[in-house]
A and B are shown apart, each in its own frame.
Chain A
Amino acid sequence: MTETLTVDGLTVHYATREGALQALRDVDLNVPAGQIVGIVGESGCGKSTLINALLQLMSENARIAAGSVTLEGEELVGAPSRRLRDMRGRDISVVFQDPMTSLNPVLTIGRQMHDIQYREKISRAEKTRRAADMLGRVGLPDPVAKLDAYPHELSGGQRQRVAIAMAVLMRPKLLIADEPTTALDATLEVQIIDLLKELQREIGCAILFISHHLGVIAELCDRVVVMYAGEAVEEGPVADVFNTPSHPYTAKLIECDPGRMKTKAALLPAIPGDLPDLTAPPTGCIFRDRCDKAAEICRTSPTPSAVTGAHWARCHFAGGGRQ
């Protein structure tokens, strides 16, 4: 299988007054062509930093300390900014969480969809036709009229559909969806999930789907990567990871989801403790301080150990070894 996106040993530091904040440490990630890969993790796990690094749109104080990001074999880290500008929006595109802030409020939908096609050497009429066609494809009623609408005239669900239409308009190789359903209601959420599945089949792009909602990941993705405090701690096919979580963090996270419990729980599970200070991350396993299973061996850094086939976890106890 060809890989659309390969992230290898990506390490990103932010310069802060307290020293280098190690937001991502040695993250590996593959998104095979035509697949939907989910990233799940809580606040502070480095999801946003990862997206910024993939797009090479990092804040001033961020620095890629090591690692590489390749899109269909082409290295993005250190690529000339002209080349990157060429790729953004055409080869990689993003759907953000809040469609109100990712659309320009003072330009019509049609104008914004024209602007995305600035590289295309086609007539204005053709650009308009393509834009309307795509709006229809994402399920907006009356797409031609919608081209003249401003973002505030649309509802939240419609705005997110417009944002998705814009993201797939150039038929990107990789679509990054950053919590695209978090700002939406439950009944709209399932509509958007179905839409993404459908578009993926039709356009065939790879999707990197970022969410903190385990239910959505379980529903949509082929593979899932679990991140914690800047590390990928577990990865595998969705069914394997959810059925036999092999990193204690994943197991806890799934256990904490109240959607799993069908009867009233007297005491809801939680993960006590806080994220470690990433300016001086503890040596050894990053999850050690909050883990029930922590033992002496956890003072040394675990390496990813295979559970089955393509399923691995970064834990000394994973894979049945010492458990």
Chain B
Amino acid sequence: MTQPILKLRDVVVEFPALRGLKALMAPRDARHVQALNGISLEVMRGETLAIVGESGSGKTTLARAINGLLPLAGGEIWFKDIALHQRPDWHDIRRQMAMMFQDPVGSLSPRKTVRDLVLEPFAIHGRKAGNPTETAARLLEDAGLNADFLNRYPHQLSGGQARRVGVARALALNPAVVLADEPTAGLDVSVQGEILNLLNAIKAEHGLTTVIITHNLNILRHIADRIAVMYLGRIVEIGPVTQIMEAPRHPYTAALMSANPEPDPTTRRERIILSGETPALTSRPTGCEFHPRCPVARDDCSARVPELTQSGPRAVSCHYPISENT
């Protein structure tokens, strides 16, 4: 757990905000929006880091940047000792860093059978699959599906089964890191548990490092070791999962945790309801970017940008973090 396997420093990803003549006429800094705005984090070998945040916070962009699906506008990403920001051999890296995409059925080609889908990574990477049918059956079995599924097509699978095929594909080449984008999206609660158990079991068995992107707060404490909370393309708080969930220090984290409706009609928690919505990336607020919605913002929050400050195992970017005794 001591060695970082992934290291990000000040990662910036930009998207063009304007096109054509407008872009040429606009001042340089208005041509792009920063979807990721200086992300620094480390993922330790064998740990599960969950990245949480609402839509538009840059979670998926972060996963795609790590896997080289988006170009970096700045910063560095290191995978082991390979510099991912300096045109590495992606073909080889993606063999070691597998991605599980959001839509379980949509990420499977509808024209291929489960057998072909599970063997596809071997073909792409020019690896021998041994006895193909046996290998496919073994991978499926690891993902909790029996060999009857080999000849099915994606439309014949339920959401949970399709997700399992996605897991089998991601694990086919024995990667060191798995990036899972919303592994429970679109799954029913009764199936969700099975998939999370599967991920936990695989992680324990293979010593896998996982980065899970999710907005499902309920599952966090059951799968993650640490969580990073994102807002507007920045990390506002990061640390061990129980500490953050039980004693959030950033007001946004606190609001996010309290906004989660509980399946219990008798408990009524104090809820922090945030006013308004996440601002657009094109009009970032000054100072602390959360200040227009922050229930405890003070005057200087709109002027000074807070730094992500480390204290012990956790870090928070807020001028006036919620302290433990309040």
A residues near B (Cβ < 8 Å) are 42-43, 155-158, 185-191, 193-194, 212-219, 238-239, 242-243, 252-254, 256-265, 267-272, 274
Contacts of A185 in B (CB 8 A): 54-55, 215, 278
The answer for the CA separation of A185 and B196 in the assembled complex, in Å, is: 21
Contacts of A189 in B (CB 8 A): 259, 261
Contact A256 B193 (CB under 8 A): yes
B151 within 8 A of A: no
Contacts of B264 in A (CB 8 A): 218, 242, 260
Q: Given A187-B274, A267-B197, verify A254-B263 contact (CB < 8 Å).
A: yes
Expressed in whole angstroms, the minimum distance between the Cβ of B200 and any Cβ of chain A is 8
Of the A-B pairs whose beta carbons lie under 8 Å apart in the complex, a sample of 17, sorted by A's number, is A156-B55, A185-B278, A187-B255, A213-B261, A218-B263, A219-B262, A238-B265, A242-B264, A252-B190, A256-B189, A256-B193, A257-B189, A261-B221, A261-B222, A264-B222, A264-B242, A270-B190
Contact A187 B222 (CB under 8 A): no
By beta carbon, the residue of chain B nearest A254 is B263
Contact A218 B265 (CB under 8 A): yes
Interface string of B184-222 (1 = CB under 8 A from A): 000011111110110000000000000000010111011
Query: Of A190, A239, A268, which contacts B265 at CB under 8 A?
Result: A239
Contacts of A262 in B (CB 8 A): 221
Most chain A Cβ neighbours within 10 Å, of B189, B221, B222, B266: B189
Contact B263 A191 (CB under 8 A): no
Query: Of A157, A257, A269, which contacts B263 at CB under 8 A?
Result: A257
Query: Of A187, A238, A263, which contacts B256 at CB under 8 A?
Result: A187
Q: Given A158-B277, A185-B215, A242-B265, verify A190-B259 contact (CB < 8 Å).
A: yes
Contacts of B217 in A (CB 8 A): 186, 259
Contact A218 B222 (CB under 8 A): no
Contacts of A218 in B (CB 8 A): 261-265
Number of A-B contacts (CB under 8 A): 119
The answer for the CA separation of A214 and B193 in the assembled complex, in Å, is: 15
Contacts of A274 in B (CB 8 A): 158
Contact B261 A256 (CB under 8 A): no
Contacts of B259 in A (CB 8 A): 186-187, 189-190
Expressed in whole angstroms, the minimum distance between the Cβ of A94 and any Cβ of chain B is 22
Expressed in whole angstroms, the minimum distance between the Cβ of A152 and any Cβ of chain B is 13
Expressed in whole angstroms, the minimum distance between the Cβ of A289 and any Cβ of chain B is 13
Expressed in whole angstroms, the minimum distance between the Cβ of B265 and any Cβ of chain A is 4
The answer for the CA separation of A124 and B192 in the assembled complex, in Å, is: 50
Contact A271 B266 (CB under 8 A): no
Contacts of A194 in B (CB 8 A): 273
Contacts of A238 in B (CB 8 A): 265
The answer for the CA separation of A158 and B279 in the assembled complex, in Å, is: 13
Expressed in whole angstroms, the minimum distance between the Cβ of B317 and any Cβ of chain A is 18
Expressed in whole angstroms, the minimum distance between the Cβ of B187 and any Cβ of chain A is 9
The answer for the CA separation of A179 and B278 in the assembled complex, in Å, is: 22
Interface string of B235-254 (1 = CB under 8 A from A): 00000001000000000000
Contacts of A254 in B (CB 8 A): 263
By beta carbon, the residue of chain A nearest B188 is A42
Expressed in whole angstroms, the minimum distance between the Cβ of B260 and any Cβ of chain A is 6
Expressed in whole angstroms, the minimum distance between the Cβ of B288 and any Cβ of chain A is 17
The answer for the CA separation of A282 and B191 in the assembled complex, in Å, is: 22
Contacts of B262 in A (CB 8 A): 215, 218-219, 259-260
Q: Given A215-B261, A258-B218, A258-B219, verify A268-B193 contact (CB < 8 Å).
A: yes
B46 within 8 A of A: no
